């Protein structure tokens, strides 16, 4: 399995980690959505980071698969995938820490990685 595929696998587990952070400190499994709706501060931002991670997983996974199918140079694909993972982790950290500008920059950087894979695979 390539490094890029390992990156996809790693990001499968990222939203649940963020979700666990959002639910720490009090959670009722009978009404999980209500608990998250009532969250405040960093826990609320962790929930939002989880939602954003879920939204960005599919385009990244698709880009990696298409990059492989198109025969993109493996080293290039691996570097872009690793950069995407690093930027997504930073995005979550900045989101939880309420650092809006850094969060946005890391988001745009991750999006640029996805776009780069698609463009190079074309």
Task: Specify the pLDDT at position 25.
Answer: 72
Residue 27 clears pLDDT 80, i.e. is over it: no
Are 117 and 64 within 8 A, CB to CB?
Answer: yes
CATH number of the CATH domain containing 8:
1.20.120.550
* Domain count for the chain: 1
- Per the structure, the complete domain to which residue 75 belongs is given by 3-121
> pLDDT tens digits, residue range 39-98?
889 999 999 999 999 999 999 999 999 999 999 999 999 999 999 999 999 999 999 999
Model confidence at 37, pLDDT cuts 50, 70, 90, reads confident
Burial 43-78 (b: 16+ CB within 10 A, else e): bebbbbbbebbeebbebbbebbebbbeeebeeeebb
Residue 26 clears pLDDT 80, i.e. is over it: no
CA distance 36 to 56: 20
Model confidence at 24, pLDDT cuts 50, 70, 90, reads confident
């Amino acid at each position: 399995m390539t490094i890029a595929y390992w990156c996809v696998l790693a990001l499968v587990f990222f939203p649940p980690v963020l979700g666990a952070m959002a639910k720490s400190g009090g959670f009722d499994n009978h009404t999980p959505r209500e608990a998250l709706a009532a969250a405040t501060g960093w826990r609320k931002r962790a929930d939002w980071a989880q939602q954003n991670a879920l939204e960005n997983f599919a385009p990244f996974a698709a880009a990696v698969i298409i990059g492989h199918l198109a025969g993109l140079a493996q080293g290039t694909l691996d570097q872009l995938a690793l950069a995407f993972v690093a930027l997504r982790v930073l995005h979550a950290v900045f989101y939880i820490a309420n650092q809006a500008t850094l969060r946005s920059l890391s988001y745009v950087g991750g999006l640029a990685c996805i776009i780069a894979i698609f463009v190079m695979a074309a």
